[in-house]
């Protein structure tokens, strides 16, 4: 399928009533095709299309449902398809309450696959400049192997646009196009006692709940009233997040638990503890 040459320039098509993410995905495709071609590619609504002309359809459009409805309906969360027909290329995924990223993932995959675009970092990309763009026939359906895709990588936590280009779902990165792990996850993935029992909220009224060295690194589970409060907080969190499927609850990120005498006595029979180190 011809995308452009010196006599032809394809148009990008979105639904007459596109979702926010379909528009975002279409504009991302336009941005990179403009850079590759050196031309200004147009985005149009579906009702403006004409027969026997080539188009790239992005997202859920009427002609997609007419031609490829079974494929669309079979897609799962974050899955996308890139499929060519006689005069058209379709890039689409299904939006769900948990994620609206799939079509955008398809756009980035297409750019990498068809033209060799590379997203190396949030501030380093490779975009070729071509005098002609022509693609092979495609019938690609991609489904991620994991729902949670969260590397411990600073750039994908601080740069939401780059996070989406990497197809990462990171609960610690906010404002990722198409969403992160919320609302599927009602909490962070771990180290989150303080989401429910924070020193800021409780240290003044319940100093006994925290590490006695005042660094507040961990909670003191020798206190039964603390456990009761933590359970009530978690129950409220679950009730108030009806769309969430997963909830994590685990210690803060440190090697040092509470150092009160009762806790230290319990550790003798239950744990092997490292010493605290300072650098």
Is residue 170 included in any domain, yes or no?
no
Contact between 181 and 148 under an 8 Å Cβ cutoff? The reply is yes
Query: Residue 176's closest CA among 192, 165, 161?
Result: 161
Query: Do 158 and 198 belong to one domain?
Result: no
Q: What pLDDT does residue 53 have?
A: 83
Query: Do 144 and 254 belong to one domain?
Result: no
Query: Do 155 and 34 belong to one domain?
Result: yes
Query: Residue for token digits 């200004």?
Result: 40
Query: Do 154 and 234 belong to one domain?
Result: no
Query: Do 26 and 125 belong to one domain?
Result: yes
Query: Do 34 and 159 belong to one domain?
Result: yes
Is residue 184 included in any domain, yes or no?
no
- Cβ contacts of 201 within 8 Å, gap of 6 or more: none
118 is in which domain, residue-wise? 2-165
Q: What pLDDT does residue 277 have?
A: 41
Cα–Cα dist 25/102, whole Å: 9
Query: Do 18 and 147 belong to one domain?
Result: yes
Q: What pLDDT does residue 206 have?
A: 92
Q: What pLDDT does residue 171 have?
A: 75
Query: Do 8 and 128 belong to one domain?
Result: yes
Is residue 179 included in any domain, yes or no?
no
Question: In 3-state terms, the chain is what percent helix, strand and coil (to 5)?
Answer: 35, 15, 50
Task: Specify the number of domains making up the chain.
Answer: 2
Q: What pLDDT does residue 8 have?
A: 75
pTM: 0.83
Query: Residue for token digits 């603390």?
Result: 226
Query: Residue for token digits 């590490």?
Result: 211
Query: Do 211 and 129 belong to one domain?
Result: no
Q: What is the DSSP code string of 183-250?
A: TTBSS-SSS-HHHHS-HHHHTTT-GGGB-TTTT--SB-TT-HHHHHHHHHHHHHHHHT-TT--B----
Q: Encode the chain (279 residues) as per-residue pLDDT tens digits.
A: 677 676 677 899 999 999 999 999 999 999 999 999 998 999 999 999 998 788 999 999 999 988 899 999 999 889 999 999 888 999 999 988 888 999 999 999 999 999 999 999 999 999 999 988 888 889 999 999 988 888 878 888 889 999 999 999 877 777 889 888 878 888 877 888 888 999 889 989 998 898 756 555 788 888 889 999 999 999 999 999 998 888 988 888 877 778 888 888 888 777 655 544 433
Cα–Cα dist 172/42, whole Å: 35
Is residue 112 included in any domain, yes or no?
yes
């Amino acid at each position: 399928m011809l995308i452009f040459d010196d006599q032809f320039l394809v148009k990008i098509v979105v639904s007459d009533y596109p979702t926010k993410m379909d528009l975002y995905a279409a504009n991302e495709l336009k941005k990179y095709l403009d850079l590759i071609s050196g031309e200004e590619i147009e985005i149009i609504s579906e009702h403006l299309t004409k027969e026997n002309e080539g188009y790239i359809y992005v997202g859920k459009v009427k002609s997609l449902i007419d031609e490829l409805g079974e494929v669309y309906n079979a897609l799962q969360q974050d899955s996308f398809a890139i499929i060519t027909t006689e005069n058209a290329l379709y890039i689409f995924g299904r939006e769900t309450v948990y994620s609206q990223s799939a079509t955008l993932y398809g756009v980035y995959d297409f750019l990498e696959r068809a033209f060799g675009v590379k997203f190396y970092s949030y501030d380093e990309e490779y975009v070729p400049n071509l005098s002609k763009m022509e693609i092979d026939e495609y019938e690609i359906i991609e489904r991620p192997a994991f729902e949670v895709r969260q590397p411990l990588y600073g750039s994908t936590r601080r740069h939401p646009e780059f996070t989406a280009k990497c197809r990462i779902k990171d609960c610690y990165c906010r404002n990722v196009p198409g969403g992160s792990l919320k609302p599927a996850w009602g909490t962070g993935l771990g180290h989150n006692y303080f989401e429910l029992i924070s020193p800021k909220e409780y240290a003044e009224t319940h100093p006994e709940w925290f590490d006695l060295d005042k660094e507040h690194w961990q909670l003191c589970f020798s206190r039964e009233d603390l456990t009761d409060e933590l359970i009530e907080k978690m129950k409220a969190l679950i009730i108030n997040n009806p769309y969430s499927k997963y909830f994590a609850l685990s210690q803060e990120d440190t090697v040092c638990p509470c150092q009160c005498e009762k806790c230290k006595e319990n550790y003798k029979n239950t744990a092997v503890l490292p010493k605290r180190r300072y650098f």
